[in-house]
Structure 1
Amino acid sequence: MNKNMWVRGALGMSLCMLVLLLFRRQGPELFLSAVTFPLVPLAEGLRWLSLQGGFLNVLAWLFYLDVACSPLYLLFLQRKKGFHLEDALLPLTSGFLFYALYGLINRSSFSLGGFGPSAHGFYGLYLGVTFYSLVISYGLLKFVRMLKEKDTLGLYEVARSALFVVFLFFIFQVLGPVLWQWLGTREAMVAENTALVGPLLKSEIFLFFGYVTKALPYVLTLPLLYQG
């Protein structure tokens, strides 16, 4: 794998994490938006089209059928390579999309599941997690099958790609959970000690060194992964 790809990947991951950091104060709302994407925004768009009536309503139904059938299109493309057991997840995902998008478009059906009237509530979160579970499961099973069919050179390239993924994950850990935990702890400390007179410099230095201690193992491992 080209070394420039590692640099671009690191910069891209860092940029994404910094953008998320700017919106960090949104807290659960940001997480909810990420997990419910793309189902909830897509359903909102289809619902808006449907409510316009006439041709736009027909167009909304056509889009709905097209999106719900998209896993079946992928299954159709697989026919020349032959079908495998993991491909059974594709019609299952298609059926799930039919159900999920219909439920999100017709919000009144939420009450049947006890999820409440909001498309951005627990129902959307539940559907988002289920959707990503199906997609990730299919991707992992396909990846395992690809490993079985690779020769030695192919396995080497796969291993390099796996190292690249771990490399990005470590950057995510340094700029993501570890950093956010430090910032959250610092904000909580400042909020709970507003009545105190004098700076909290010593406490903030202690918290910062705690962040450095947690991030250091990841940072020291990054050069080793890059050289790999």
Structure 2
Amino acid sequence: DLNALPADLPVVRMVEPGIVSGMVEYVTHAVLHLHRDMPQYRRQQQRAEWQPRQAKLAADRRVGVLGLGSLGQAVLAQMKAMGFDCAGWSRSQHHIDGVQCHAGSEGLADFLAGTEILICLLPLTEATRGFLNKKLFEQLPKGAGLVHVGRGPQLVDVDLLAALDTGQIGDAILDVTDPEPLTPEHPFWSHAHIALTPHIASMTHPLSAARVVLDNLRRFDRNEPMVGLVDRLRGY
């Protein structure tokens, strides 16, 4: 709760190389997993079925990222390097070479309509709570994949389950949930079209994080701009 802190106290996010590289690695793995139909092959293996599927070229697959902060842009740079058709959406307009950028509520529908693999990297605010819901899923192409690495409360669980049951969402890879961990009886644990990881996509690395903290303390002492400064009005 930022209101519980003195108004003149700067608050910063932890922005360190290990967090960025870890997120890029995780999302790359997840996107390739969905792109190459690995969830379907896993289900076929469990049924002892040998059934090759026609692979799709990366250039013919649209990957869309919700959230164009430092993590979102790093992920998109990797997706571009791999040849994917890339798009991004954020609250405010961005311009990124090689990425079709959309912004605001007026740009969301067009962004979703062409996105075959959706990656959520949004910050958690009151505006993004419940953002991944029935209305959003219905605007994606049928069978789209979801990679959720934002925050658990952004996902409406029952809406995802319903979308998976109808095939509107083909498969989902979730690194964040609400609550964490899920209760033992939660249907996500055993769902054939959901892969779960325990919030490990991006971890803070102690040594590199310590260097970032020391650098920000020095910047604070010298009245210099701090890295990762939080905008209190936006909440991130």
- Fold match (TM-score > 0.5): no
Larger Rg: 1
When you count strand as a share of all residues, which structure comes out higher? 2
- TM-score bracket relative to the smaller structure: under 0.3
